[in-house]
Structure 1
Amino acid sequence: MSAQHDHHHHPVTFDVHGMLLFGDDPLYFSHLPMFEHPAHRFQVLMEVGFRDDVLEVIRAHRKDGDIQTFVPERFDILELGPSGPEPARTTVAGTIFQGHFERGGIPIAEDVTARIERVSCFRVLDPEPLHDDDRTLTYLCFGRAGRLHLAHEITARPDFDQVLAIRIVPGTVRHDPDVRVPFDVPAMDFPRPVPARFGRVDTPARRLRAGDTLEGAFDPGVTRTGPHGFTAQIEVLGEIYMETGDLA
Structure 2
Amino acid sequence: MVTGSPAIHGLVLLGTDRIHAVHMATFAAPYDYQAVMRVTGKAEQYRAARQRFGTSAALTVLPNPGLSFEDATRKEGFAAELFLGHFAKGGEPLGGMTIRIGKVLQYRALTPPGPSEAAAALSYDHFGGVEIFMSHRLTARPDFDQVLTAQLVSDDFFPVPPAPQEPEQVATVTLPDRPNDLTGRLRPGDRVKAADHELRILAEVYLEADDLA
Shorter-chain TM-score: which interval?
Answer: 0.7 to 0.9
The equivalent of 1:75 in structure 2 is 67
Q: How does 1:30-179 map to 2 (within 5 A)?
A: 30-35=22-27, 37-51=28-42, 53-63=44-54, 66-73=57-64, 74-79=66-71, 89-90=74-75, 91-110=77-96, 112-127=97-112, 129=114, 134-145=119-130, 147-170=131-154
Q: 1-side partners of 2:142 and 2:115: how far apart?
A: 7
The equivalent of 1:246 in structure 2 is 211
Which letter maps to 1:151?
S
Shifted more, 97-106 versus 61-70: the winner is 61-70
Distance verdict in 2 for CA 1:98–1:217, change over 3 Å? closer
Q: 2-side partners of 1:56 and 1:153: how far apart?
A: 27
Checking the alignment, whether the CA contact within 8 Å between 1:126 and 1:156 is kept in structure 2 is no
Percent same amino acid among aligned pairs?
A: 31
Shifted more, 131-140 versus 119-128: the winner is 131-140
Q: 2-side partners of 1:22 and 1:52: how far apart?
A: 12
Shift, 1:136, TM fit: 2.5
- Note the alpha carbon deviations across 1:87-113, whole angstroms, 9 max, x for none: x52312111112211011122122x21
Q: 2-side partners of 1:134 and 1:54: how far apart?
A: 41
Q: 1-side partners of 2:186 and 2:92: how far apart?
A: 29
Shift, 1:119, TM fit: 0.9
TM-score, scaled relative to structure 2? 0.82
Taking only aligned residues, the RMSD between alpha carbons, in angstroms, comes to: 2.8
Q: 2-side partners of 1:20 and 1:92: how far apart?
A: 15
Q: How does 1:181-200 map to 2 (within 5 A)?
A: 185-191=161-167, 192-198=169-175, 199-200=177-178
Q: 2-side partners of 1:54 and 1:21: how far apart?
A: 12
Shifted more, 117-126 versus 62-71: the winner is 62-71
Checking the alignment, whether the CA contact within 8 Å between 1:133 and 1:202 is kept in structure 2 is no
The partner residue of 1:235 within 187, 200, 205 is 200
Q: How does 1:192-211 map to 2 (within 5 A)?
A: 192-198=169-175, 199-211=177-189
Q: 1-side partners of 2:94 and 2:203: how far apart?
A: 24
Q: 1-side partners of 2:129 and 2:117: how far apart?
A: 31
Q: How many residues align?
A: 204
Q: 1-side partners of 2:55 and 2:162: how far apart?
A: 27
TM-score, scaled relative to structure 1? 0.72
Distance verdict in 2 for CA 1:164–1:77, change over 3 Å? same
The partner residue of 2:193 within 212, 216, 221 is 216
Q: 1-side partners of 2:144 and 2:115: how far apart?
A: 13
Q: 1-side partners of 2:209 and 2:116: how far apart?
A: 13
Shift, 1:126, TM fit: 1.6
Which letter maps to 1:104?
G
Which letter maps to 2:91?
G
Distance verdict in 2 for CA 1:64–1:56, change over 3 Å? closer
Q: 1-side partners of 2:154 and 2:57: how far apart?
A: 29
